[in-house]
Structures are given as C-alpha cells and as structure tokens.
Amino acid sequence: MYLPDPSSSVSYVAARLIVISALLGVVAACSPSEQANTSTYVSEESCAGCHTAQSKAWAGSHHDLAMQDANEQTVLGNFNNSRFSYSGINSRFYRRDGKYFVTTDGPDGKLAEFEIRHTFGVEPLQQYLIELPGGRLQALSIAWDTRRKRWFHLYPNERIDHRDELHWTKLSQNWNHMCGECHATDYRKNYDAATGAYNTTAKRFDVGCQACHGPASRHLAWAQNAESGAMKSPAGARKQDFTIDLAARESRIQVETCARCHSRRSTLSADYRHGAPLMDSHLPALLTEPLYYADGQIRDEVYVYGSFLQSKMHARGVRCSDCHEPHSTKLRAQGNSLCASCHNATAPKAGAHIDISSLGKKNYDAPAHHHHKPGASGSLCVDCHAPSRNYMVVDPRRDHSFRIPRPDLSTKIGTPNACNECHQDRSSNWAADTVARWYGPQRRREKHYGEVFAAATAGQPGSVRDLVTLVKDKTEASIVRATALDLLNRYQDREALVVFQDSLKDADPLVRRAAVVGHERLAAAQRVTALAPLLDDPVLAVRIEAARLLAPADKTIPAERKAQFDRALAEFRNVQVGNADRPEAHVNLGNFYAASGDLDQAIAAYRKAIELDPVYVPGYINLADTYRARGDETSVEKSLLQAIAASPGSAAAHHSLGLSLVRQRRTNEALGELRKAAELDRDNARFSYIYGVALNSAGQSKQAIRILQGAHDRHPNNRDIVGALMAFHRDMGNASEARRFAEKLQAMSE
C-alpha cells in the first residue's frame, strides 16, 4: 500500500510517496483541547508573565518562526521583481500594495498570479505558502536559500510539472495534511469530505509553549489563585497542573513528545494526548530502505527519532533536552564541549536520569582518541559520530544514532561511513584498516544488525535464522527488532511464524505491531486465536492492525472478544475516515471491504481514491483487482489502461495489465506489457520472473532463460528465479545447468 510521507515540517512536504504499511491516516475524533484532564488551550501571552527567561529564549527560535504571515518583517526572499527559471517555467517574484506575489505555473500548468500568504521556516531556507480554493495551503517548491541569497528548486535534478505528484499544487505539497500539525499549536485540520474543503484552525500558527507542555488552563488558574498557597507547594506537585512533566525522570515522555514532530511518522489520530504513548496517535517508520541504509544510517529525510532510538544514549536514558535547550532550540554547548560534558576523564555531568555505569572515563577530546589535528575536520565528535546529510538541497541534518564509524561494513554491505565522507579519495578498505590500527581489530568481529538486514533484503541463505536471533535479542533497540520482524515477513518459514507469535507479547508496541503484521501470512480464520487478545492492546496502532487482520474472520471472533473487536474495528475505520483528504485512506477502506467480501463498497472506495488523485496508480490497480474478483476482465483492462494513461512510467500498472491480457489469452499483447514492466523496474525481481515464465509458456524458452539469467545476476538469491531457471534448463535438455541451479536451490533451503 502506498502512503504519504509520514512527515510534518517545512521539508516534509518535499518527499515522494513511500511504502510503509496499511492503516495510516488522521482520525477525526475529539480535538487536542478535549484532554482527559479537562485542561484547555489559553493565550500564550499569559505564559510570558511568569516564564520570562523561557519566553525570551523562545522568541526568534525556529519554533517561534516555524510559520508566519507574509509581511515585510517575515519575508526573506527577493521579491523585487526577481525571476527564476525551472523546467521551462519562468517564475517571477514581486510586491504590490504591501503584499507578496509569484507568477508561476498553476494546477493546469499555465502561468498565473498567486499571493504569498505565509512564510514557512527561516534558515537555512524559507518556503512560501499559497492558498488555493477550498482552504488549501500549498508549499511552493521554489524556495529561498537564506545563506547564499538565491532562489532554488527543491527538485533540481528532476522535471516536475503540473502533472507530477510532487508539483506544488498537488496533495504531496499540501500543508493542511502534511505540515500543519507540527507548525501550529492546538491544530485542527477540519476537512469536510462532502465539500472537499478545509476549515483549518489553530490556537496559533507556530510552535508555542502548549504545543509541547499541553493545554495550560489548569496551570494558569493555579498561578492566578494567589490565596491557594500553591506557590509554597513542592516543585513536583506544582507541575501536576500540567498533564505531563517534561523534566520527569522517565525520559520516554519527553523523547516521545519531541518525536511527535521530529520523526518520520504518520498520524493515526487527531486526538493527541500529551504524555500518552506515541503510537497511540502516530506510527513511526521502521529502519527500512529507502528511508535508511541497511545499517540504520539516515538515507532519506527521516529526521531524528528513528535514529536516536538506535543509539546507546537513548538506551541509557539520555533525552533531547540534555543536549538541546528546548526553548531556544540551540545546543547547550558548542564544539566538543557538549559531548565532553559527559564523555570525559573525570566527572560526567550527566543528569540523574542517565545510566552512566558503562560510561568510559577518559579524555575523548584529544588526538589520542580522534587521531586528527585539533580544530581540523575530523576532530569534532559529530564529524565521526553524527555525520550529516543534505536534504532539501541546502539543509544538512545530523544522524542522531551516534554510532561508532564502521568502514568495515562499507566493504561488506556498501553502506557509507564517516571516514570516507571526508577522505573520498581513499577506499573503504583503507578506512577500515586505519580504524583497526587505531582502535584494535575487534570491531571487525562485532556483527552489526546492518549485515543481517542487508543479507535478508538480498534473500541470502540463513537470513531467517539471523533475523529470528535479532528479534529475540532484548539488548537490541526496539526499532531494530521491529525492523527484523518486518524483514522476516518476506519469508514463509515455520520458525518465522513462531517468533511472530512470541513477539505479540513484547513490552514495546513497535515490536508488537510488527508481530501483528506478520500474521497476515495466515488464513483469516487462523489469525483469530493469536490476534484476538491484541484487540484491547493499550496502544491504538496495535489494536487497529489486529482489527484489520481479523475483519475477514469476524464470524469466528469469540463472543467474549466481540465487543473489543467492534471497538477496534470502529477505530480502524475512524483512522481512514479522518484521513478522507488522502487517496491512501480510501484504498485502505477499499481493501478492508474487499477482504470482507463487500465488493461494491470496495469499488466505490477505490473510485474515490482516484477522484482525489487521478495519478494515484494504486487506486486503479486495486480497483482492477476487485473487478477481477468479479470475473469482469473488460473492466479490469479498462481500469489499467486508465492507470497507464495517468502514469505511463508505472511498472506496476503495465505488469497488472499484462496479467489481465494473459487471462484473456491475448499472448502477444500480454508479453509486451510484461516486458515493459520488467524493463521499467529492473529492481523488482517479481516482474522479471513473471515475464520469464510467460515467455516460456509462449514457447520462447531460450528468451525466457536469457531474461531470467539477467534477473538472476541482479537478484542471485531469489528462489523463484533460481527454481525457474532449473526447470527451464531441465526442459531444454541442459542437464549441467539444471543441476547447477538445483544445487543452488538446495543450498538456499538449508
């Protein structure tokens, strides 16, 4: 299932649709104001009266300036009749009557004038928001580089026109869904599915005090009650006027409060409750490609949370405010002084919430440790332990996994390493040898989960065993173990099923949810015993996944679980209904209806997805699959031809059409479509495999072997391809080749 980039900041509107899971959306439930403690949001100006220092630090911060009305004080770009050319479009930026405008290509591709309504971010780039009909705020893809003082396009190496999903007028660049929750305080999307319009509101359009601390009406009432004696109460008691204490000893509360926005995630529920488990309202992305490299290093724009969960610092209780001053958002110290406050030879200044029992005491800020000249590149802790990557062209982001550089992994699985990021003229072997000489060869013997993930992704023999071992290792981070379960789901293996069942009882909801997903391999009726207890899981993300997988077997749900099932299923539907402005939600509903046997409702849902986004290929493909279930091959072909017309480069659409033509016994046309699919997406082993099988069935065995041999070169551990090559060579009388592939298939099964 294709889903929107689970992101939520100025740059979050800039990523393509990705595959993560089913069930992502936004619930149109009670507003964040309706908290369990009955607190409501108040004017934030009332905070500054008592919290002067914090207010002063916050003023002018990235949180304060996350979004502003466009005016002479806030607009940083050159609107003095400046021009910018991109992909044949000549845009012009100018002012008139105190307002800011751009003439650029609109929804129809024609040049038109648009008023800039809001600025979006301040440094190192500033984007601009334009309001389109229906209350839609859209992020313009031409941004201002605040350092180099120039206009630039967020997709400089692509040709994005008005038909592309990444065009500034499309859903992927819609602020209301993609950005608003994290650039506003007390945000309410307020999408009306009947009219297709937004009436979005917020207490304020920036990240204010209550965005993190929660609604403050009770706290304000306490502060205003001079006769209550509250000022004399212990500090800990005073903080109870808020739902949460962000300085509490338990780091989870603060880290997950920040993760609500500083993570690659999707929103499950608009009913965000400060202090509740993150997965009660949001679903973080796992360490899967292409978001992360195999070893968990940042690749796509994933922000901080997924990386930090992998770190030893997180495991020891370190939280965001230990390094970042939360009101100014600045680092608490500059250079190596920040890291050396804990990592030193004498007295670590770690807070009481941090476990320092394994913290080595030595002088890390010295050439004896970093082996570089002080002050030179490579001498800073972050150079090696938190290297950065550029996103949105000009915005460097640091990897918060704080890992030890492993150039030896680069030689094994091709992942990047901090050493060669600087020493680009040297090989990873050179870097690995140098690290081993400096710190000892033992690092090469330490197997990293990245090696397991890379092997499993490639389908190498022994991957099931290694993934199972990783899942069972409770010393590994939860996000690593959940990712191992996600990869394990590719293997139909008895041992894998056992570990999925065992992991349903894991303490971490990220692991439990991944374990629930793993049960999709079973027939619906076989899921009931294992998944029924998860229907009242304390975390929403787990409950709704269990409900989705149990929906096709609703008749066999035990009577004592029926009420829990009905509630969880209603929550699942609310997730999709609340996300009605996105085609993915309607495809999710369509899949649910199809699995439940209600094909009419499924068809209606898929058509709604296509109506919302005419270039959303999964809507067409799922619609075609439903027609196929009805035996209506004419409608199948029509739907897939529409998909190809909307997105000619979609390998999936060509592949599905090829299969339809096979069923219609139109062999030559089918082979043409299957060939296009295999050529358009050579990384998809399945497309090449099906094309090869179709060629063989059509009597073109030599061509089939040639195609499959090329696919085998790219995917040497794909069992289907190896099995087909064995069978085709055998049928062709190529005994030695058939034996070679038979032996390989046997080895892959051991």
Question: Does residue 233 carry a pLDDT above 90?
Answer: no
User: Given this model, what pLDDT does residue 541 score?
Assistant: 97
Quick one: which of 27, 23, 9 has its CA closest to 514? 23
DSSP 8-state assignment for residue 201: B
135 pLDDT more than 70: yes
- What six digits make up the tokens of 420? 């060669």
Residue 31 has pLDDT above 80, yes or no: no
Calpha distance 279→448 (Å, rounded): 27
Q: What is the 3-state secondary structure (H, E, C) of 38-92?
A: CCCCCCCHHHHCCCHHHHHHHCCCCCCCCEEECCCCCCCCCCCCEEEEECCEEEE
Query: For 576-594, how does the pLDDT look when each residue is reduced to its tens digit (9 = 90+)?
Result: 998 999 999 999 999 999 9
In this prediction, residue 67 carries a pLDDT of 95
- Tell me the CA distances in angstroms from 5 to 16, 333, 655, 694, one per residue in order: 7, 33, 25, 35
Distances from the Cα of 619 to the Cα of 90, 624, 659, angstroms: 34, 9, 17
Calpha distance 368→359 (Å, rounded): 18
Residue 494: predicted pLDDT? 86
User: Span 159-178, mean pLDDT?
Assistant: 94
| Cα atoms in the 13 Å half-sphere on the side-chain side of 594 | 20
Helix H, strand E, coil C: the string for 619-645 is HHHHHHHHHHHCCCHHHHHHHHHHHHH
SS3 of residue 614 by DSSP: coil
Average pLDDT over residues 377-406: 96
- pLDDT band at 231; cut points 50, 70, 90: low
Over 60: is that where the pLDDT of 11 sits?
Answer: no
Average pLDDT over residues 634-638: 97
pLDDT of residue 35: 42
Mean pLDDT of 34-56: 82
Report the pLDDT value the prediction gives residue 12, as an integer from 0 to 100. 27
**Residue 571 CB partners (closer than 8 Å, separation 6+):** 27, 540, 543, 544, 547
Q: Would you state the pLDDT for residue 747?
A: 85
Distance CA 657, CA 646 (A): 14
Please, which pLDDT band fits residue 7 given cuts at 50, 70 and 90? Answer: very low
pLDDT at 25 over 50: no
What is the average pLDDT across 531-555? 96
pLDDT at 237 over 90: no
Return d(Cα 105, Cα 90) in angstroms, integer: 9
Whether the full predicted model's pTM is greater than 0.85, yes or no, is yes
Buried b / exposed e over 711-735, threshold 16 CB at 10 Å, is bbeebebbbbbbbbbbebbeeeebe
Report d(CA 8, CA 267) in Å as an integer.
Answer: 9
Please count the residues of the chain: 750
Concatenating the DSSP letter of every residue in 508-542 gives SHHHHHHHHHGGGGS-HHHHHHHHGGGGG-SSHHH
Classify strands 82-86 and 89-96 as parallel, antiparallel or unpaired.
antiparallel
Average pLDDT of span 699-711:
96
Structural element, H or E, at residue 99: strand 99-105
CB atoms within 10 A of CB 649: 11
pLDDT of 313-346, one tens digit each?
Answer: 999 999 999 999 999 999 999 999 999 999 999 8
Higher pLDDT, 434 or 242: 434
Assigned token pair, 626? 């439903």
pLDDT of the residue at 228: 59
Q: How confident is the model at residue 349, as a pLDDT?
A: 78
Per-residue tokens: 157: 């190496």
Asked whether the CA dihedral 13, 20, 681, 649 is positive or negative, the reply is negative
**236 pLDDT higher than 70:** no
Structure tokens at 748: 């892959």
Residue reference for tokens 């929103």: 267
Confidence label for 147 from pLDDT (cuts 50, 70 and 90): very high
Least confident piece of the model among 146-150, 249-253, 514-518? 249-253
- What mean pLDDT do residues 29-35 have? 40
Q: How confident is the model at residue 3 (pLDDT cuts 50, 70, 90)?
A: very low
Instruction: Assign 633 a pLDDT band (cuts: 50, 70, 90).
Output: very high
If you average pLDDT over residues 89-97, what whole number do you get? 97
**pLDDT confidence of residue 4:** 32
Give the tokens for residue 119.
């600025």
- So what's the pLDDT on residue 447? 83
The 3-state secondary structure of 102-116, one letter per residue: EEEECCCCCEEEEEE
Lowest mean pLDDT among 87-91, 295-299, 354-358: 354-358
| Calpha distance 370→696 (Å, rounded) | 59
Angstrom distance (rounded) from CA 129 to CA 180: 12
pLDDT at 16 over 50: no
Amino acid at 687: F
- Per-residue confidence band for 153, with pLDDT thresholds at 50, 70 and 90: very high
Residue 90: predicted pLDDT = 97
pLDDT band at 229 (very low <50, low <70, confident <90, very high): low
Q: CB atoms < 10 A from the CB of 634, how many?
A: 10
Arithmetic mean of pLDDT, 446-471: 93
Distance CA 279, CA 536 (A): 14
pLDDT of residue 221: 86
Q: Region 371-387: what's the mean pLDDT?
A: 95
Q: Are residues 459 and 689 in contact, defined by beta-carbon separation less than 8 angstroms?
A: no
Rounded to the nearest integer, the mean pLDDT of the chain is 91
Amino acid at 107: P
Span 646-658, average pLDDT: 96
β-pairing, 89-96 vs 197-198, is unpaired
Both tokens assigned to 27: 């619930």
Rounded Cα gap, residues 605 and 626, in angstroms: 11
User: By percentage, how much of the chain surpasses pLDDT 90?
Assistant: 83
